[in-house]
A and B are shown apart, each in its own frame.
Chain A
């Protein structure tokens, strides 16, 4: 709750104070506030501070923040802080974009702490509606317009399906509270051996489709490469990490409520996960644009993460946390580096931007390699640790899925190698720009390597 208050007040202040001012300073300021929020949330998660008094007015059956919710909130605010800091250098006038990003972040936090379907729905919309605007925030550029209208149509369409699903679940179970919604089918399954009523099954499928659109799992992923490519780079960094993280936390919480009737839904989640992993990785192979490659890579990661939905228990949050942390940090860093190396225009961000990086800025080329290794899941990086925990805990129940996951990771080397190839093997004629904010990249790389090497220590800290 505390994070929602802080972000709301900051958003309103930033919107009013920065009306005709340059965005850069406000970006740094907001980023610092977000870091402060992250620290407060970690303190709340570890029990060093207690914020219960602040949330007494909000009924516990609507929204609840326990240790794991605080931890995921800390993750979200940290990601947004990094995005705002790393992309802060621009010449925009007016701070409305920062305000909208903060409101979208509030939506993501609502999705993490929800206990009632109303809050999940409102969180989803609070997250999506600012992003419709932000995707089109380069008003003159036609591809940005296209991204906005595609994202809007897809978002509104998936929201309607999601709502129909909630209506069916409500009709089938008679409740919309997360704690109670799975009880009826679970009892019917466990005590009387009865099949789940068809209304609940339909509801579950429809709600999942609504969330799978947001997660961009195949075959509901078709919008995401286009939208990511058309949106401004900063907004793509936000969409591919924050939206995905929040939607995964919400989705796994929802499915956990229905874990009593897992045999009703696990087979189609497995099918979607296999399809997503293969589709994402294979389609990424033939892309030439950095943004489209990263978009398909994020689809593939969504496929791996769907494994977590199958194995989620109350005590397995750390797997999701470590995976989301490694995925988010490395993909933001890759995108930001490409963004900063690129010469002026936003259009057509292809692999040539990295040409000759190892000659001119060897340190940055090394960091680029670390980020690529982490995204690909190569040892001593966080990506490997995350994949290892995820695959090893899935293997007992779904060996086929883990096999497909390993195959997908092997395919993915093919396109992640393109980054390394153009940075190290191709001698560039293009004069790269200098990477700004170097220490942020160093920080991110250090976090990734630390999680990769000292995984167990991190787990002890996270293990709530």
Chain B
């Protein structure tokens, strides 16, 4: 199996790259749905890292943490989509560029 030849550092690099893709997505995209997807990508990159580290160190804590992250990510997505629906009702847009009311 190819996976047995992989060092832990490969997992760390992979999840850091995935996390960075999500991070730049949040910073540069303007569609709220895409933003939600990018945040989900960031959280899943962290999940990957936790799982890899947990297996590497032979310690179950990291894998259990992943369950908590999944639960919280689901709750966050639910609330985020609800907020988005509320915004859509008022503005008829899913674009976050309406966010310029508050300034100063």
Q: How far is the CA of A63 from the CA of B90 in the complex (A)?
A: 43
A163 and B83 form a contact (CB under 8 A): no
In the complex the two chains form, what is the Cα distance from A4 to B26 in whole Å? 35
Does B32 make an interface contact (CB < 8 A)?
yes
Nearest residue (CB) in B for A199 is B12
A142 and B99 CA atoms in complex are apart in Å by 9
Q: Which of A284-313 contact B (CB under 8 A)?
A: 287-289, 292
> Which residues A121-155 have CB closer than 8 A to chain B?
121-122, 125, 129, 132-133, 136, 139-140, 142-143, 145-150, 152-153
- Are A145 and B69 also in contact (CB < 8 A) when A125-B75, A150-B99 are? no
A454 adjacent to chain B (CB < 8 Å): no
Smallest Cβ-Cβ distance to B11: which chain A residue = A171
| Contact B83 A152, beta carbon cutoff 8 Å | yes
Number of A-B contacts (CB under 8 A): 124
Question: Chain A residue with minimal CB distance to B42?
Answer: A160
- From B50, B91, B103, A167 is in contact (CB under 8 Å) with B50
Interface: B3 (CB within 8 A) = no
Q: Which residue of B lies closest to A117 (CB)?
A: B65
A182 to B46 Cα, complex, angstroms: 21
- Given A122-B72, A160-B42, A170-B62: A287 touches B86 (CB 8 Å cut-off): no
Residues of chain B within 8 A of A132, CB atoms compared:
79-80, 83
Contacts of A122 in B (CB 8 A): 68, 72
Q: A121-B68, A146-B102 are contacts. A167–B83 as well, Cβ < 8 Å?
A: no
| C-alpha spacing A117/B64, complex, angstroms | 12
- B49 / chain A contacts, CB cutoff of 8 Å: 164, 167-168, 171
Residues of B within 8 A of A156 (CB): 39, 76, 80
In the bound complex, residues from chain A placing their C-beta under 8 Å from that of B87 are 145, 148-149
Report yes or no: B86 in contact with A121, Cβ–Cβ below 8 A. Answer: no
Interface residues of B in 21-66 (CB under 8 A from A): 22-23, 26, 32, 35, 39, 42-43, 45-46, 49-50, 53, 56-57, 59, 61-62, 64-65
Report yes or no: A167 in contact with B99, Cβ–Cβ below 8 A: no
Question: Smallest CB–CB gap between B16 and chain A, Å?
Answer: 8
What residues on A are CB-neighbors of B56 within 8 Å?
A: 171
Distance, CA A163 to CA B23, complexed state (A): 13
Q: B72 contacts A142, CB within 8 Å?
A: no
Cβ contact of B102, chosen from A117, A143, A157, A168, cutoff 8 A:
A143
Bound complex: CA of A161 vs CA of B42, how far in Å? 8
Inter-subunit contact B53/A136 (CB<8 Å) = no
- Asked if A229 is at the interface (CB within 8 A of a chain B CB), the reply is yes
Per-position 1/0 for A80-123, Cβ under 8 A of B: 00000000000000000000000000000000000001100110
Which B residues are closer than 8 A to A by beta carbons? 12, 15, 19, 22-23, 26, 32, 35, 39, 42-43, 45-46, 49-50, 53, 56-57, 59, 61-62, 64-65, 68-69, 72, 75-76, 79-80, 82-84, 86-87, 90-91, 96, 98-99, 101-104
10 pairs from A and B in contact (CB 8 Å cutoff): A117-B65, A129-B72, A129-B75, A136-B86, A145-B86, A145-B91, A147-B102, A148-B83, A168-B49, A225-B102
A residues whose Cβ falls under 8 Å from a Cβ of B: 117-118, 121-122, 125, 129, 132-133, 136, 139-140, 142-143, 145-150, 152-153, 156-157, 159-161, 163-164, 166-168, 170-171, 174-176, 225-226, 229-230, 287-289, 292
